Amino acid sequence: MFVYEKKLQYPVRIKNSNPRLASVIISQYGGPDGELGASLRYLSQRYSMPYPELKGLLTDIGTEGSF
């Protein structure tokens, strides 16, 4: 059993909002050329990799890159 608390590890205080900077940051995480897209490409390529040692490498890169 576990308890889910929606609480940040460190408090965040935003003094001024910057929509342009927020747009750039969001595109880097979730855009087509962002970190999540790259991570998912590595993880999907592992299924067609014929060499087990390289399959493990693609798995490691894909899982480490997404965090």
What are 3-46's pLDDT values in tens digits?
A: 777 777 888 888 999 999 988 888 877 777 788 888 888 899 99
What's the token pair of residue 8? 């940040």
CA 53 to chain centre: 23
According to the model, what pLDDT value does residue 19 have?
A: 93
According to the model, what pLDDT value does residue 65 have?
A: 62
- Helix, strand, coil share of the chain (percent; to 5): 60, 0, 40
Q: Decide: 35 and 29 in contact? Cβ < 8 Å.
A: yes
Largest CA distance in the chain: 52
